[in-house]
Structure 1
């Protein structure tokens, strides 16, 4: 089961990262404004400076739910209608929440869903090939780091500052870190080797009290380690960049500069992704939680 979960998570990570990058870039290329306020009442202030088309929340919800459905329906035995219903309900609720908060129009949401559906259909035939790339070459980690960083650093220039570039870097860097972590796990045989065929599991284990307690314990241990790593790497990377570019420490405006924002975000969240997929499981194993 661990092998199946490993492969499903890796596939979701790659698909979601691709979908989110395309969605974020599309916003700054199309430059369609968010709904006017008034008459719309906007309940979120942080991302109000971003453009609206397409809705990346709708894209993420659709990508995550339907990638999970497609990648598990031949590996686990459960009613397909139930899985499809859950995927549709989850995606719909997220889409409706974007309308309720006044952050998107119906067209923004539909655009996000349709773009994601197209990308899933386009990449689906290559999912097996994409999975095999993790172990294709020792140089794979270099590509995993260099290509995403290049894409983030050359993100489309906006007319004014918005958190879109920072958010995109965060998402892509976390995806790169997770992918790198999966490669390390496979290359150094830290997890079971994937098998070419996957027999259907007759039934998904029932949730027991022991399983729930164990899951919550592993979650809390993992979260604590990830938060510590994030804070440590973020502070260290900012100190190095501020010193390199001779910027006053704690200058919030300096963090928005391209040469500072992208590197520190990328290093921080690549470390977070790597920690979540490699060091957290190692800590779980050390503590006897696996």
Structure 2
């Protein structure tokens, strides 16, 4: 048992993060170096924790920066929206359902374990916004694992595609995300391993109930009420962080958007825009969205209109929720020092705003596309 603990302790050691950064071209610059000793051909940078460094290999640098963005909410907001509008809304819904549940579990567990991120004077920390968050498990690692597995599970009974090509794409997807957490100094090796294992453990039972849970959330009359009760309960039981961490607010954003997407899908079903039972598509090929020039133009139009609409909805939702809370509470300045309700008000604002955004993704934007006659005609089959 002691040997196991020693291995785990070793994997948590920041030295592995430091070695990974050096191997892929991040070099420390000592503060006591004179300007004449510094290589003028190298650009000097400053990390989030105040350490000077240079970049020897910009290919790996930008690859890991891009890989890092694949784990954050803006990327998934765009990805889920694009899939919903242009490819398969049932795929988008189910992905969002699994993503929201696993993200909530991962963030919740971080606040329970309270294990800090790697801390070493020789580690370059590149994302200062998340320094106050705890490190274990790595939710980036969880998302990297869940996406290809969940997509494969959903698509295997719906479309025909090459498993080897899919496996190759999955590896190309996962490795930059895993590497980015070490390269940017945000996680230890153990954080990544725990995130991967936790994701696999949660996915095994989750995928077994995925279709049934999706069916109830879209087709049953009580779905909106259950949806709202669930989101409020999850928000209330989420642990409060003792640090100024954005994790709770971001978790509320995720589950609120999930709630809005399923509310919009429920409305679509009630209005007849989604049919049941599903049409048999098990023998068809994976949808090719770039089938002709006219469809390409429709995709571009749907995406641009959708993005503009979501931006407007976010501004509208934030403005309405802020004014409503101010009127109800009588507090004019949420940001003033000593406002003990500031965090709660921020949570309520995000809860309402991102539910509106989720509703926009699944109902409002498709409705606008329908009015403009640029809707995806196969959406009715996405049960």
1:214: Cα distance to partner? 2.1
CA shift digits 1:164-210 (9 cap, x unpaired) = 10010001111111111111111221234341743321464373443
1:252: Cα distance to partner? 6.5
Equivalent residue number for residue 275 of structure 1: 360
Which structure's CA Rg is the greater one?
2
1:178–1:273 Cα contact (<8 Å) kept: yes
Equivalent residue number for residue 330 of structure 2: 246
CA shift digits 1:111-136 (9 cap, x unpaired) = 11111111111112212211221245
1:77–1:204 Cα contact (<8 Å) kept: no
CA shift digits 1:224-243 (9 cap, x unpaired) = 00110111111111122123
TM-score (norm 1): 0.92
Residue range with higher mean Cα deviation, 20-29 or 56-65: 56-65
1:93: Cα distance to partner? 1.4
Considering Cα pairs closer than 8 Å and 6+ residues apart, tell me whether 1 or 2 has the greater RCO: 1
CA RMSD across the alignment: 2.3
For residues 194 and 231 of structure 1, the distance between their equivalents in structure 2, rounded to whole angstroms, comes to 37
Structure 2 gap ranges (5+): 1-83, 376-383
Pairs aligned (count): 290
Q: Give the direction of change, closer, same or farther, for the CA distance of 1:256–1:53 in structure 2 (3 Å limit).
A: farther
Q: 2:159 aligns with which of 64, 70, 76?
A: 76
Structure 1 gap ranges (5+): none
Q: Give the direction of change, closer, same or farther, for the CA distance of 1:72–1:104 in structure 2 (3 Å limit).
A: same
Equivalent residue number for residue 317 of structure 2: 233
1:6: Cα distance to partner? 2.3
Q: Give the direction of change, closer, same or farther, for the CA distance of 1:123–1:206 in structure 2 (3 Å limit).
A: closer
For residues 134 and 144 of structure 1, the distance between their equivalents in structure 2, rounded to whole angstroms, comes to 8
1:83: Cα distance to partner? 1.0
1:257: Cα distance to partner? 2.9
Asked if 1:184 corresponds to 2:267, the answer is yes
Asked if 1:257 corresponds to 2:342, the answer is yes
Q: 2:142 aligns with which of 59, 79, 90?
A: 59
Asked if 1:222 corresponds to 2:280, the answer is no
CA shift digits 1:215-261 (9 cap, x unpaired) = 12211100000110111111111122123223233626659734312
TM-score (norm 2): 0.71
Asked if 1:158 corresponds to 2:241, the answer is yes
Q: 1:47 aligns with which of 130, 139, 143?
A: 130
For residues 227 and 238 of structure 2, the distance between their equivalents in structure 1, rounded to whole angstroms, comes to 17
Q: Counterparts in 2 of 1:8-23, with a 5 A limit?
A: 8-23=91-106
For residues 85 and 334 of structure 2, the distance between their equivalents in structure 1, rounded to whole angstroms, comes to 43
Equivalent residue number for residue 198 of structure 1: 281
1:239–1:249 Cα contact (<8 Å) kept: no
For residues 206 and 236 of structure 1, the distance between their equivalents in structure 2, rounded to whole angstroms, comes to 37
Asked if 1:288 corresponds to 2:373, the answer is yes
**What secondary structure sits across from 1:46 in the alignment?**
helix
1:58–1:112 Cα contact (<8 Å) kept: yes
Q: 1:88 aligns with which of 168, 171, 174?
A: 171
